Amino acid sequence: MNTTAPETEHTPETVASLRRRTREFIRDVVVPAEPVPGQRLDEDLRAQLQQAAKDAGVFAPHVSAEYGGQGVPIQWWSEIFQEAGYSPIGPSALNCMAPDEGNMHMLELIATEEQKRRYLAPLAAGDVRSCFGMTEPHPGAGSDPAALRTSARRTDDGWVIDGHKRFISGAVGAGFCIVMARTEATEDAEAGATMFLVDMDHPGIRVGELIHTIDRTIDGGHPHVYFEDCAVSDDAVLGEVGQGFRYAQVRLGPARLTHCMRWLGLARRSLDIALDRAERREIFGSPLKGLGLAQELIAQCEIDIATSDAIIAQTGELLARDPKAGSALSSIAKVHCSEAVYRVVDRCIQICGGDGVSDGLPLAQYLNEVRPFRIYDGANETHKWAIARRASSRRRKAVEAGAPYLGDAVIRDGGH
């Protein structure tokens, strides 16, 4: 039984073909290779699956052909990423897993040619992994990037970075880190934040204690990372000095959305498991699928999947046309999809009963994988705060521009 969304008439044939091949690769090659629930994908298996993905012509769908990818435009990523996400290890096999996928996207857009050769090329090929160093211990940067405390000071030879990062996904075993640090104003740049490319074996950078979380999908865990008198040259600067927060939006808008895509693929897998169970399971003398309570759970899953798919598609199209507006909509998509996907997996567990919470089915592990998404990439509460502020600002500007004010009650003739 297949609950994957149908292809539309607007889908380019090349993307439709890649989607079909990706679907076959995930189901025929990746799913049989999945670790048992609770275990991580080891590096040897990851390398084998990535080579198989290259051989099948489905590797790195989001990366340009120049760097060995499939060159799919961002508005069509969801077609492929959902298929990859049907398996928890599918995105790693296709090299479109966080945080690498977001780092690749940003490097293609803003890195120098030499930085692309040194960092993007091996990352896109799957030869190395990477991490993104933003989050810090309280009271440093977390949901509020403006609280950034890690600093980089100018020297005659370049920069010296000092700071403590935490929850740096993928840092264990990564080849390099894109680190965000606060920089003071210089003659040709204003004070702000600057991104630096730092090799993980560079003097002055140290991976610290692990943070043990309920998810297992992201390679390299979520450890602390320390920068202690970490001296780098000027060519370590990614983009322009002082523009780090602006570049972060280039990365975070699409990265939020690709999380939605991948996890929606896993929601579809969860529903397939529950539908198969409901098809064959009998209770009180009738198939489970014929009982009203089960039908309610199934229908709500279908609704959550369809609405998530729709907002992802809309956001992807907007990101392709207007990255700033698309980034704002990706905030809404992130909140909706992270909550909808969790509801889908939770309902599917309920449909499967005791087996749903056992390791006989993978659903309990899926719930562990998707639950952190309501916190990762900005807690949903922070996104809702920003969404509400944008709504208030939009309406205030409309009223100031002449739209009628509708907030006061009006007493009408004949009213009671």
| Structural domains for the chain | 13-124 (1.10.540.10), 130-242 (2.40.110.10), 246-400 (1.20.140.10)
Residue 8 pLDDT more than 70?
no
On the question of pLDDT at 3 being above 80, the answer is: no
Instruction: Report whether pLDDT(20) > 70.
Output: yes
What is the per-residue pLDDT for 415? 54
* Cβ-contact 82, 4 below 8 angstroms: yes
The predicted structure's pLDDT at residue 1: 43
The residue among 265, 251, 261, 253 whose CA lies nearest residue 131 is: 251
Which tokens in the block code for residue 408?
């006061």
Worst-scoring range by mean pLDDT, 53-62, 184-193, 335-344?
A: 184-193
Sign of torsion over alpha carbons 118, 121, 127, 132: positive
Contact 260, 208 (CB under 8 A): no
pLDDT confidence of residue 186: 82
> Six-digit token pair at 325?
């507006």
Helix or strand holding residue 154 (H, E)? strand 151-154
Angstrom distance (rounded) from CA 348 to CA 406: 43
Is 11's pLDDT higher than 80?
no
Compare 190 and 27 and report the one with higher pLDDT: 27
HSE, side-chain direction, 13 A CA sphere, residue 259: 33
Is the CB of residue 254 less than 8 Å from the CB of residue 74? yes
CB 265 within 8 A of CB 328: no
In angstroms, the CA 163 to CA 139 distance is 12
Q: Could you give the 3-state DSSP secondary structure of residue 29?
A: helix
Categorize the per-residue pLDDT at 320 as very low, low, confident or very high, splitting at 50, 70 and 90.
very high
